[in-house]
Structure 1
Amino acid sequence: MEEEKKDPILETDAAAIRLAKTLSRAARFGALATLDPADGAPLATRVAVATDMDGTPLILVSGLSAHTRALAADPRCSLLVGEPGKGDPLAHPRLTIKARAEKLEAGTPEQAHAARRYLNRHPKGKLYADFPDFAFFRLVPESALLNGGFARAYRLTRQELLTDVPLQAFLDMEQRAVDHMNEDHADAVENYAAHFTGAGRGRWVLTGIDPEGIDLAKGDEVKRVFFEAPLRDAAEVRPALVAMAKMARGA
C-alpha cells in the first residue's frame, strides 16, 4: 500500500496572513504575468507597484507596453512580489497573487485616490502619469500563494489579503494626515521606521495610511508598520499615530 503523500500546503494562520500583507504592502516592484494575445503564451514583465487603500495592488502602465495590450485582451494575470536578500533567493519569502486587472478611468474618484497613493510611493511617476497613453490599473486579487521559505507554503483567499472595513472616511483624511506628518512630525516618522522595523535612521517619509497600518519609504527602502489592532474609524488614526510616536520615542 502506497504511503499517502503529505499536503505541502500548510493551514493558513494569522502569521501567514500578516506576512502576505507585509510583502504586498511593502513591494516597490513585481513580476507581472499576463497572456500574450498574439499566441496565448505566458508573458512576464516587471512593473512598479503600490497598493490601494484596501490592499489591492496598483500599477501604472503605458498603452505601448506588451503587458497593457495583454491585459486589454484578457484581464487574467498574476503578480509576484518579494525581494530576495543575501544567499539563496529561494529561501526568502514571496507572494504570488492571482488577479483580474481593472483599468481605472481618468476623472473618476477611484482613479484619483489610486493615483494619489501610487504617486506617494513612486514620486517620479508624476513625470508621466498624466500622459494620455498611460493608465492606472487595479489588480483585484482572487487568491494567492505564499511561500514563506523552505516548507512554508500557504494558500490565501481574497478576503484574507484585503482590508474589509468601510474606507471612504480613511480616503478623505489620508492625504492631509500624510502631509501633516511629513511636514510637521518628520522626527516621529523616522522613529516609526527605526523602532518598529529596525531600519536605519534617515529621511523617512510616510507614504500611506490605511485601517491596518502605515507605509514608510526612504529612497528605495520601503517598510510596513501595522497598528496594534485594525482601526474601525478614521477618527482613530490620530490617536494611533500619537501612541506609536510616544512608544517609539520612549524606546
Structure 2
Amino acid sequence: MISVFCASLMRCLLRRRMRGHRTFCPGPKAAARLCPAAARPVVLRGDFLPDGTDAPRSRSVMSDPELRQVPDETVRRQVRSLLRTARAATLASLEAGTGHPQATRVALATDFDGSPLLLVSRLSAHTSALLAETRCSLLVGEPGKGDPLAHPRLTVFGRALPVERDDPLHARARRRFLARQPKAELYVDFPDFLFFHLTVTRGALNGGFGRASDLASGDIVDEGANDLVDAENAVSAHMNGDHADAVDAIAAHRVGMAEAGWRLATLDMRGFELLRGDRLARVEFLTPVRTLDDVRAAFVGLTAEARETKRS
C-alpha cells in the first residue's frame, strides 16, 4: 500500500509539472521523506535461505546499516552481560514435520567461549525440532519497569548441535550448566535429557530505543583456544573454598550486592559469573586473562580494589 501511494503521488506531481503548473518537484531527500523508508528495502547479508545457505535477502529499514551502531567494546560488553548472565532464554525453532516457527522457554548456560548451552528433554517438541533442523535463535534480556521495549535484549542466531555423552564437551557442558542451574542436578543425568551446543553465526542487539547493532559471531563468542578451559573448575573451587570473603567483597563492590554467600560459578577469559540463590551477575576483568598467573593477578587486583573502596 505504501509503495502504491508513493507511485501515485509521483505520477500526480509529474502530470502537474507537464501541464505548466509551478509545483514542487521533490529531490532525492525530499522524495525519501514523502515515501516512507519501509517502502525502500535494503539488502544485508547473513539471512538464511530455505536451503540452509547464507545469502542476501531484502529487509526493512530497521536493519539499515546507517541506522545501526557499529559494534565496539562497549556493545560487546553489553552483549556478554546479557547472554552470559541469562539463566533462561526464548528458543525459536522450526517445528518438525511442518516447518512452522515455534517458541519456548529453555534453561540456559554458556560454554567457556560464550556459546549457549541448552539442556532439554527428548520428549519436548523443541528437541525434535532441533534434531530435525539445527537452525534456531535465542532471545535473552528481561524487561524491567515501564515500557518493556525500552529494555535491552539480544537475539543470537546459530545452529544447535547435540552433545553426546561420549563427547569430550559433555563433561564441561554438564559442569558449567550445573554451576549456573544447580537445581538441574535432579534430572541432568536422566537418559531422555541431552545437551545442545549452539554454534553462533550472528546476532542482533537492541539496546533500547535508538540503540541497535548487527553482530558478527566474533562480537558474541571468544574465538580461539584458551589454556584456562581445563583449569576453570580448580579456580572456582579455590576461590569459593579458600577466598569466599574475597568473592563477597568483589560482589559488593562490582555488583552492588553486599550480602554474603556469593560463589564463583563460571569463568572465561574476559570475566566471570557470581551466583547467589537465583541471582547471577557478571564481573569483567580489566584485561583478558590467558594463564593461571593472569587469573591470580586479576583476582588479587579486584579484591584489593574492593577492600580499598570499602575502607574509603
Provide TM-score, normalisation by structure 1.
0.95
How many pairs are equivalent?
250
In the TM superposition, residue 124 of structure 1 has moved relative to its aligned partner by: 1.0
Q: Does 1:3 align with 2:32?
A: yes
Aligned partners of 1:165 and 1:180: how far apart in 2?
Answer: 26
Q: Decide which structure has the larger Cα Rg and report it.
A: 2
Aligned partners of 2:301 and 2:287: how far apart in 1?
Answer: 12
Aligned partners of 1:235 and 1:133: how far apart in 2?
Answer: 41
Q: Specify the SS of the correspondent of 1:176.
A: helix
The structure 2 residue matched to 1:156, chosen from 211, 215, 228, is 215
The structure 1 residue matched to 2:142, chosen from 83, 97, 103, is 83
Aligned partners of 1:71 and 1:19: how far apart in 2?
Answer: 28
Q: 1:40-119, aligned counterparts within 5 Å?
A: 40-119=99-178
Q: Is the 8 A contact 2:228 2:291 kept in 1?
A: yes
Q: Does 1:195 align with 2:253?
A: yes
In the TM superposition, residue 189 of structure 1 has moved relative to its aligned partner by: 1.0
Q: 1:1-251, aligned counterparts within 5 Å?
A: 1=27, 2-3=31-32, 5=37, 7-167=66-226, 169-251=227-309
Alignment deviations for residues 165-219 of structure 1 (CA, whole Å, 9 cap, x no partner): 422x212211111011112211111111111122342311110111110111111
Identity of aligned residues (%): 47
Aligned partners of 2:243 and 2:292: how far apart in 1?
Answer: 19
Aligned partners of 2:169 and 2:113: how far apart in 1?
Answer: 12
The CA RMSD over aligned residues, in Å, is 1.4
Aligned partners of 2:225 and 2:98: how far apart in 1?
Answer: 42
Q: Is the 8 A contact 1:23 1:95 kept in 2?
A: yes
Aligned partners of 2:290 and 2:237: how far apart in 1?
Answer: 22
Alignment deviations for residues 190-249 of structure 1 (CA, whole Å, 9 cap, x no partner): 111111122342311110111110111111111111100111323311111111111111
Alignment deviations for residues 120-155 of structure 1 (CA, whole Å, 9 cap, x no partner): 111111111111110011111100000001110101
Q: Specify the SS of the correspondent of 1:159.
A: helix
Aligned partners of 2:222 and 2:272: how far apart in 1?
Answer: 13
Q: Is the 8 A contact 1:165 1:232 kept in 2?
A: no
Aligned partners of 1:39 and 1:136: how far apart in 2?
Answer: 24
Aligned partners of 2:71 and 2:300: how far apart in 1?
Answer: 33
Stretch of structure 1 that moved more, 98-107 or 5-14: 5-14
Aligned partners of 1:200 and 1:93: how far apart in 2?
Answer: 25
Moved over 6 A (4+): none
Aligned partners of 2:115 and 2:292: how far apart in 1?
Answer: 19
Q: Is the 8 A contact 2:249 2:258 kept in 1?
A: no
Residue identity in the other structure for 1:210 = D
Instruction: Give 2:7's aligned residue.
Output: none
Q: Specify the SS of the correspondent of 1:114.
A: helix
Structure with the larger RCO, 1 or 2 (CA within 8 Å, 6+ apart): 1
Aligned partners of 2:96 and 2:224: how far apart in 1?
Answer: 37
Q: Specify the SS of the correspondent of 2:229.
A: helix
Gaps of at least 5 residues in structure 1 are: none
Q: Specify the SS of the correspondent of 1:229.
A: coil
Q: Specify the SS of the correspondent of 2:231.
A: helix
